[in-house]
Amino acid sequence: GIQVEQSPPDLILQEGANSTLRCNFSDSVNNLQWFHQNPWGQLINLFYIPSGTKQNGRLSATTVATERYSLLYISSSQTTDSGVYFCAVATGANNLFFGTGTRLTVIP
Amino acid sequence: GAGVSQSPSNKVTEKGKDVELRCDPISGHTALYWYRQSLGQGLEFLIYFQGNSAPDKSGLPSDRFSAERTGGSVSTLTIQRTQQEDSAVYLCASSPPWAEESYNEQFFGPGTRLTVL
């Protein structure tokens, strides 16, 4: 299967700080999704971004498919941003391969 | 609209018993996926249904695991003779039909937390 590496594994931020999370993947994909797993375990869709750049409020993401990486930017972080961020990739409509996640803790 | 729903939200069972987990996908979604999340293994794929095609069972860890999808909608994941290593959160996802631009974007349910004593 496709290998997905996320970095950093853990990140602690002061409220208001900015951060960048990285996702590297080992093969060509046509699906890349970023998720936020909240404290109740629900996977919340952040971005569907197999290529290009998207923005949604304080969050934005960029995928450079030819170089097999994606970045998730969080600006002006808030305590509610805490949780685990997952990157997942797939080819076609096949199953997603998940990274091991970045655990973000935002302290007030 | 309504998201993916799963039931039960929690299930505690004894080793050796059979369990059934249910998933209701988003209305109109044609693809349905089962994954599980455990501490040691992260998020791993189990099985994938696409319309009326034969399911992709390549992720099922043993023949104790099976799944069916009735009428192209609701799916049931069955684990027979449960073992302690089956303890995990079982997640279901669905995605839109081929005709849509983001046909392969997956949306997840809240999961079923299975504990095998």
Q: Does B90 touch chain A (CB under 8 A)?
A: no
Question: Does B57 contact A at CB distance below 8 Å?
Answer: no
Do the beta carbons of residue B61 and residue B47 sit within 8 Å?
A: no
As given in the structure block, the two tokens for residue B37 are 């999340």
Which H/E stretch holds residue B8? none
Chain B residues closer than 8 Å to A95 by CB: 33, 35, 45, 48, 56, 59
How big is chain A, counted in residues?
Answer: 108
Query: How far is residue A99's CA from residue A1's CA, in Å, rounded to a whole number?
Result: 12
Q: Is A48 on the interface with B (CB under 8 A)?
A: yes
Residues A72, A61: contact at Cβ < 8 Å?
Answer: yes
**Contact flag B104-A92 (C-beta cutoff 8 Å):** yes
Residue B81: helix, strand or coil by DSSP? coil
Q: Which chain A residues contact residue B37 at CB under 8 A?
A: 41
Distance CA A23, CA A101 (A): 9
pLDDT band at B70 (very low <50, low <70, confident <90, very high): confident
| pLDDT tens digits, one per residue of A49-64 | 999 999 999 999 999 9
Residue B41: what pLDDT?
Answer: 76
Residue indicated by tokens 């853990």:
A10
Across the interface, do A41 and B113 touch by the CB < 8 Å criterion?
Answer: yes
Q: What mean pLDDT do residues A77-90 have?
A: 96
pLDDT digits (tens, 9 = 90+) for B6-26: 999 999 999 999 999 999 999
Q: In the prediction, which pLDDT does B1 show?
A: 61
The residue assigned the tokens 């170089």 is A67
| CA pair distance A89, B5, nearest whole angstrom | 23
pLDDT at B101 over 80: no
Contacts of residue A80, defined as CB under 8 A and 6 or more positions apart, other chains included, come to A106
Helix (H) or strand (E) holding A107: strand A102-107
Please tell me whether residue A92 adopts helix, strand or coil conformation: coil
Of the given ranges (A47-56, B2-11, B33-42), which has the lowest mean pLDDT?
B33-42
For strands B10-13 and B112-116, give the pairing.
parallel
Which among A43, A86, A94, A102 is the top mutation candidate for probing chain B, defined by the most B β-carbons within 10 Å of its own β-carbon? Answer: A43
